Structure 1
Amino acid sequence: MLYSSETPAAKREALRAGLASGTIQRFPGAFNPLSARLIEAKGFDGVYISGAVLSADLGLPDIGLTTLTEVATRAQQIARMTNLPAIVDADTGFGEPMNVARTIQTLEDAGLAGTHIEDQVNPKRCGHLDGKQVVDEDTALKRIRAAVDARRDPNFLIMARTDIRATVPGDGGLAAATDRAKKLVDAGADAIFPEAMATLAEFEAVRAAVDVPLLANMTEFGKSALFTVDQLQNIGINMVIWPVSLLRLAMGSAVRGLDALNEHGTLEPVLGEMQHRADLYELLDYEAYNRFDTSVFNFQVSR
């Protein structure tokens, strides 16, 4: 009831244990606190909080327009509603290395289990779009060193994301990605997020290059094919995210609902697509609030 019954420290320990378990950790993206509760109810391992989703939630494109305050506030609202560990996308760290350090401590205070910092320049763009640019190696490594130095809880996961694969043509991009991944690990990164890998073989090349956990991003309509959990598990990937999927599903359903209203003047034709009121109340654990006040839950919801 109210919020998570697990402390942030316990969630961070659970994340570390999951990554070390040998079983791939499945982290669907939550677009709000309620969807985080649904992810937990459906038996997933963790919750991912996407920068693209946070931007879209504000009606903005994913080009680095959100602030640390906006991201930390929304991430805290999501993380505190689930017992699962939550990881948030911190883009480029919201500034120079000192800003990155502040970002890490702010996200720790917000109850997150971890974050990732990328090596794009600002203004950044979605990792699966063309025309990305990355910072030089020295700047990328300084961001990660600053993040690691600022961390107070050693279990708070600091992941380095590299977008360099798409900035170098041909096989040179993959070589650049594996080289940068190694150096990011040497700088202290606990895990690596190689963005926009096109094939399983490319993921395997990064897997062979580093001995820390790897994340695979299975975002729809992007550069990577939509590999299955089993395919990724079989090549040694430790975590998979579906960052924007639930938002896309929800917005697709919203479009169909509005179209039904325009066409029929009623939503009756799409009632079967809706979450029932009874299911919503169960997800909210409405009945548990009765322990505090019998006047809150004193009714029955028929299906």
Structure 2
Amino acid sequence: MMRGLAQRLRQPGLVTAPGVFDMISAKLADGLGFDALYMTGYGTVASHLGYPDAGLATYSDMVGRVRQIAGGTRTPLIADGDTGYGGLLNVEHTVRGYEAAGAQAIQLEDQEFPKKCGHTPDRRVIAIADAAAKIRVAAETRSSKDFLIVARTDARTAHGLDEALRRGEAYAKAGADILFIESPETVEEMEKIAGSFDLPLLANMVDGGRTPILGKTDLEQLGFKVAIFPVTGFLAASAAMASAYRHLLETGSSKDWQGTLYPFNDFSALMGFDKVWAFERAHADYTNPSQGAD
């Protein structure tokens, strides 16, 4: 039976959620025993469309990826829902769609449309009342309170930490289950965030981003409940592929490449070929009937 994210949040300890962006990353992470997976918007848009995370992906693009990943894994999925893809009616539609697709939490942010990745410049936020209304609609729309609303504010970079904290308080009152104050720039800012709210708090650990990368113990001691690592997987995979492809280009072969390859047989098993082969063995009499039989 699938573990519940809402139940896990009531238990001690940090929930570490790796960023997944396609079915290979999702299946790899799913088999390792994480408490949650995080469907990164940045990585999913890049992987699926080859575009920057700049408001170019549609609701249809993203809900399809939610359905694929949630349907192909057993670990609770937190899914990036951007701005809800429009106004309040769009937020209602998005929440219903993500919940039906199998996510256990949706992340909604307060940026203007088109949004931008949270660790890039020139992000602008909508009015606090409008953003709180989106969170309120999301909380009212879900069919189960175990489907969690992650409220994110991007106000820190352009308007300062105090405005971001003020928005976090408004979103908590509007019905958010988890607060996500994006892009604090020092440990001291993270400490202030953690001391400002009673709700579970999410830390966004973006390798190469604006926020310091902290260890598990440090995050727990500060008071964060969830830590997402949205870019770690695709940056690691991209580095490995770039190295392998460069070697192929330079030498004409994979022979003598010094990187690490995932074993082919293990990868075939990860993708489910063992079940295919077992099925074919079980139905061999139907697919390969004896020649000359009456």
TM-score normalised by L of structure 1? 0.89
Q: Which residue of 2 aligns with 1:300?
A: none
Q: Which residue of 1 aligns with 2:8?
A: 18
**One-letter amino acid of the structure 2 residue matched with residue 21 of structure 1:** Q
How much does 1:161 deviate? 0.2
Q: Which residue of 1 aligns with 2:179?
A: 192
Change (3 A) 1:31 1:269: farther
Secondary structure (helix, strand or coil) at the match of 1:293 reads helix
- Bigger drift between 115-124 and 286-295 goes to 286-295
Secondary structure (helix, strand or coil) at the match of 2:67 reads helix
1:239 aligns to 2:226 (yes or no): yes
Distance (Å, rounded) in 2 between the aligned partners of 1:68 and 1:111: 15
**One-letter amino acid of the structure 1 residue matched with residue 32 of structure 2:** K
Q: Is the 8 A contact 2:14 2:225 kept in 1?
A: yes
Q: Is the 8 A contact 2:244 2:259 kept in 1?
A: no
Q: Which residue of 2 aligns with 1:151?
A: 142
- Bigger drift between 30-39 and 119-128 goes to 30-39
Alignment: residue pair count:
283
Q: For residues 54-108 of structure 1, what are the alpha-carbon distances to aligned partners after superposition, in whole Å with 9 as ceiling and x for unaligned?
A: 2111111111110111101011111112110001111100000110010000001
1:183 aligns to 2:162 (yes or no): no
* Unpaired runs of at least 5, structure 1: 1-5, 298-303
Q: For residues 96-148 of structure 1, what are the alpha-carbon distances to aligned partners after superposition, in whole Å with 9 as ceiling and x for unaligned?
A: 01100100000011011111100010111111112111111111111101111
Q: Which residue of 2 aligns with 1:277?
A: 264
Q: Which residue of 2 aligns with 1:121?
A: 112
How much does 1:20 deviate? 1.4
Pick aligned residue for 1:227 from 214, 218, 239: 214
Q: Which residue of 1 aligns with 2:40?
A: 50
Q: Which residue of 2 aligns with 1:96?
A: 87
Q: Look at both structures and tell me which one has the larger radius of gyration over its CA atoms.
A: 2
**One-letter amino acid of the structure 2 residue matched with residue 256 of structure 1:** S
Q: For residues 182-216 of structure 1, what are the alpha-carbon distances to aligned partners after superposition, in whole Å with 9 as ceiling and x for unaligned?
A: 11000000110111011222222222221111111
- CA-based RMSD: 1.7
Task: Name segments (4+ residues, structure 1) moved above 6 Å.
Answer: none
Q: Which residue of 1 aligns with 2:292?
A: none
Secondary structure (helix, strand or coil) at the match of 2:207 reads coil
* Unpaired runs of at least 5, structure 2: 285-294
Q: Is the 8 A contact 1:290 1:296 kept in 2?
A: no
Q: Which residue of 1 aligns with 2:290?
A: none
Q: Which residue of 2 aligns with 1:35?
A: 25
Alignment of 1:285-296 (within 5 A): 285-294=272-281
Q: Is the 8 A contact 1:181 1:206 kept in 2?
A: no
Distance (Å, rounded) in 1 between the aligned partners of 2:283 and 2:194: 52
**One-letter amino acid of the structure 1 residue matched with residue 77 of structure 2:** A
1:87 aligns to 2:74 (yes or no): no
Instruction: Give the % identical residues.
Output: 34
How much does 1:290 deviate? 4.8
**One-letter amino acid of the structure 2 residue matched with residue 18 of structure 1:** R
How much does 1:272 deviate? 4.7
Pick aligned residue for 2:248 from 251, 261, 285: 261
Q: Is the 8 A contact 1:37 1:81 kept in 2?
A: yes
Change (3 A) 1:175 1:282: same
TM-score normalised by L of structure 2? 0.91
Distance (Å, rounded) in 2 between the aligned partners of 1:47 and 1:27: 5
